[in-house]
Amino acid sequence: MQRLTLYQLYTKMLQKMGPQGWWPADSKFEIILGAILVQNTNWNNVEKSLANIKAETAFMPEKIHQLEREHLMELIRPSGFYKNKSRAILETFQWLNDYNFDLEKVKIAYKRKLRSQLLSLRGIGEETADALLLYVFDEKVFIADKYTQKLFGFLGVDGIKNYSSLKKQVPELIGFTLQDAQEFHGLLDEFGKIYVKDEVTFADSFLVGYQLNFNE
């Protein structure tokens, strides 16, 4: 087994796969919508919902905030779970409205408590909160989603039971820039879609024979 540090894993994936350009969006408010809508569905369905919202609001946060819930539910119906997701969107944009949709003001107001605040919002779990921190609020964080949990298990990381169990094991992203951290999640996700379905698909990947070591 050849050992890899977290940053070496990132550089190897980037070399083999190239930049993924995550998160795919034209604005940070579109990213917020996408992060909520993608829960328990695939991105093709999200794109349909985003197209509907864009046609109505041009992703202007004030217009999103003013949408009637019944209408919003129809706009996001392609993403499923539209009742819960509509509540999550409207509550999140109500919160942002308190800061005049100034994301920098939000960061200043909460500082290190921003993740806790995000988790207090309806429909925002750990993965979504970290995605918002990474792509909306430009915080250098690691997203331990299901693809990554499975990949790291294949790479010899023990004790992965759920999102938080892996998150606690991963050290700070030392050596990573914000852009690196954003790109790393994109690479992990795109790799996961192809190679981490099971041991057979992983055996066809370029990471076979490697072991991840957080302590080096």
Buried b (16+ CB within 10 A) or exposed e, 130-158: bbbbbbbbebbbbbbbebbbbbbbbbebe
- pLDDT at residue 216 tops 70: no
> SS3 of 139, please?
coil
Distance CA 115, CA 132 (A): 9
Mean pLDDT over 34-57 rounds to 97
- Please tell me the CATH superfamily of domain 28-135, with its number: Hypothetical protein; domain 2 (1.10.340.30)
Task: Tell me: pLDDT of 211 over 90.
Answer: yes
Q: What residue ranges do the domains of the chain occupy?
A: 2-21+142-212, 28-135
pLDDT tens, position by position, 16-34: 999 998 998 999 999 999 9
> Could you tell me the pTM of the whole model?
0.95
- Whether 145 shows a pLDDT value over 80: the answer reads yes
